[in-house]
Amino acid sequence: MAKVGTYDCIIMETTPITDPGLFEDADCLVEHFKDKDYASIPMSSTLESEAMGAVAELGKVSKYKYDNVDDIVIDFDYNQKHVKALFQAIDKMKDDKRVIVEVAGPLVILDNLASSEVVFRSFRKKHDKIVELYDEIRKALVEYIEKLVDSGIKLISFSDSLAGADIIGPKQMQLYVDEFLMKFLEDIQNIDKPFNFHLCPKSTMALISLDKAEFRPIEKDEEQRYVDFLFEENHKIFGDRCMNLSDRKFKKINEIIIRR
């Protein structure tokens, strides 16, 4: 088996969020980003799992919905308060500010629904169920992303912090790439609307190392912020560096070309 590449996450120091309004009130979100030229929402990676039944407080899961992967049902509730606040905030900001929506991947979602311990234990003994959940989550996320694009979003950022060979092992990462990521990216490319897609470099490096993708450089005469690169192009996939470097300046970045 080829060595599966990974990427060391860039951890930024952040102030703990104490305002619950940032997870349930669109006006609070708008106010939070009023002095910035772009907004990156939601404020936590729990939104998708909350839409599927997890309970979270201040951006952290406080109650798992399941204690067995066999019981997990993937059903995305667009009326859930965190989801509703996000779409309302998009509607309020989209004409005046560039908005990035961050989307969590299946391992983060499953971790929030049933805990990573429960999920990781199931990798070997319940392989078919994991593949089934990957498929169901993929379909739910693609529908969600289509709704985001229809609402006016021009940049989607996808990340799955648990999806790394250093965390789940090379065999499971290969399964993740084959049974989720490649199918998901094909679906994303088939959305016939103008938006860009940013892939977490942990996933990008796995694709590159497995010969599933390649880099195509995009270069400027002068340095500019990473986030500005991402908004300039049209219907491209990026992800050679972390979104936590959004405000860092570069002369060159790479588009990701997916190999079919």
Percent of the chain whose predicted confidence (pLDDT) is above 70: 96
Given this model, what pLDDT does residue 3 score? Answer: 76
194 pLDDT more than 60: yes
Lowest mean pLDDT across 2-6, 125-129, 182-186, 227-231: 2-6
Given this model, what pLDDT does residue 141 score? Answer: 98
Average pLDDT, the chain: 93
9 pLDDT more than 70: no
Given this model, what pLDDT does residue 1 score? Answer: 53
Given this model, what pLDDT does residue 260 score? Answer: 77
Given this model, what pLDDT does residue 79 score? Answer: 98
Burial letters 121-157, b for 16+ CB under 10 A, else e:
ebbeebeeebeebbbbbbebbbebbeebbeeebbbbb
Can you spell out the DSSP letters for 205-247?
HHHHHTTSEEEEEEEEEEEEEHHHHHHHSSS-EE-SS-GGGTT
Q: Please tell me which residue, 9 or 219, carries the higher pLDDT value.
A: 219
Spatial distance between the Cα atoms of 244 and 153, rounded to a whole number of angstroms: 19
| Region 16-34 average pLDDT | 95
**Cis peptide bond prior to 42, omega within 30° of 0:** yes
Given this model, what pLDDT does residue 235 score? Answer: 80
| Region 11-39 average pLDDT | 90
Per-residue pLDDT of 239-260, as tens digits, reads: 999 999 999 999 999 999 999 7
**C-alpha radius of gyration, the chain, whole number:** 18
8 pLDDT more than 80: no
Given this model, what pLDDT does residue 119 score? Answer: 94
Contact predicate 39/29, CB 8 Å: yes
Contact predicate 51/23, CB 8 Å: no
CB-facing half-sphere around the CA of 133: CA atoms within 13 A: 26
Contact predicate 198/256, CB 8 Å: no
Per-residue pLDDT of 155-186, as tens digits, reads: 999 999 999 999 999 999 999 999 999 999 99
Per-residue pLDDT of 43-91, as tens digits, reads: 999 999 999 999 999 999 999 999 999 999 999 999 999 999 999 999 9
Given this model, what pLDDT does residue 13 score? Answer: 63
| Region 203-229 average pLDDT | 95
Q: Which residues pair with 109 in a beta bridge?
A: none
Q: Please tell me which residue, 6 or 85, carries the higher pLDDT value.
A: 85
The alpha carbon of residue 87 and the mean position of all alpha carbons in its chain are separated, in whole angstroms, by 16
Q: How far is CA 136 from CA 20, 56, 181, in A?
A: 30, 22, 13
